[in-house]
Structure 1
Amino acid sequence: MRYTVSAAAAVMALGAATLAFAQPSGYTGPSNASKAAAQGSYSGPNNVPLMTVKQLVDTGRDDQAARLQGRIVSFEGDERYTFEDATGRITVEIDNEEFPAGQTVSAEQRVELTGEFDKGLRKTEFEVDHLTLLP
């Protein structure tokens, strides 16, 4: 019995390691790296300000809530993607469960990302709490 538990743990660890390098099933665009659950979401009014990448990078404060509209243009690995709008690009962190269940997101699909700006001394990125497909 003890051997069975250890073997199962090893298989689970191997599976987790494999997922860390595979492109997520919810995104089908380009990937620069060698990784969706069904989930409900709120769809009512949103008071989080809509900003451009340039506005966010130039004037955003650390931990500021914001919304961005544009395209996810590439997968960089470890839940990190490059997001682009008409004003520039920013690295975004998107957990796999934020992708719409049963749908894929291509590099041509317009999306709205709601989340929090992470502005540090060495890196600037946007941590996504919610992803919405736009028409």
Structure 2
Amino acid sequence: MKVLKTVALSLALSLGASGAALAQFVGPSTVKLTSVAEVLKSGTDDHQVALRGKLLKKVGSEKYEFSDGTGTIRVEIDKKIFPRGEPIDDKVQVEIHGEVEKEFMASPEIDVDSIRRVN
């Protein structure tokens, strides 16, 4: 009986220790890149980004040139994502959230999940 209690206690302690190790996590699983320069230097496919800057011009269907002052990058923004009733031009500062799309031998671009005006 004493052996069973020892085994049960050992098992409970090992499970408790692994639960405590899991409880140590306190932050997000990925780091968001916050500048175009960071994206161009170290961004990888599907890397999360949060950028503030301006849409400089439209360069294709749902494709725009974006700049935050540290560099420029192409972004893809679905029409349905643009804020309704709030026109955006090259003078309006915006904040975009999305992820890096990087294909072999191509310049990275940002697939935008959300965009909002910044006052």
What's the TM-score once normalised by structure 2's chain length? 0.70
Which residue type is aligned with residue 64 of structure 2? Answer: Y
Q: Which has the higher contact order (CA 8 A, sep 6+)?
A: 1
Once the two structures are TM-superposed, the CA of residue 107 in structure 1 deviates from its matched residue by: 0.4
Correspondence for 2:116: 132
Once the two structures are TM-superposed, the CA of residue 55 in structure 1 deviates from its matched residue by: 0.5
Count residues in correspondence: 89
Question: Which one of the candidate residues 65, 70, 76 is aligned to 1:87?
Answer: 70
What's the TM-score once normalised by structure 1's chain length? 0.62
Unaligned residue ranges in structure 2 (runs of 5+): 1-27
Correspondence for 2:60: 77
2: distance between equivalents of 1:123 and 1:84? Answer: 15
Once the two structures are TM-superposed, the CA of residue 123 in structure 1 deviates from its matched residue by: 3.1
Q: How does 1:35-114 map to 2 (within 5 A)?
A: 49=32, 51-114=34-97
Secondary structure at the counterpart of residue 68 of structure 1: strand
Bigger Cα Rg: 2
- Aligned-residue identity in percent: 35
Unaligned residue ranges in structure 1 (runs of 5+): 1-46
Secondary structure at the counterpart of residue 85 of structure 2: coil
Q: How does 1:24-35 map to 2 (within 5 A)?
A: none
1: distance between equivalents of 2:86 and 2:42? Answer: 34
Correspondence for 1:117: 100
Q: CA RMSD in A?
A: 1.4
Which residue type is aligned with residue 78 of structure 1? Answer: S
1: distance between equivalents of 2:111 and 2:40? Answer: 13
Which residue type is aligned with residue 72 of structure 1? Answer: L
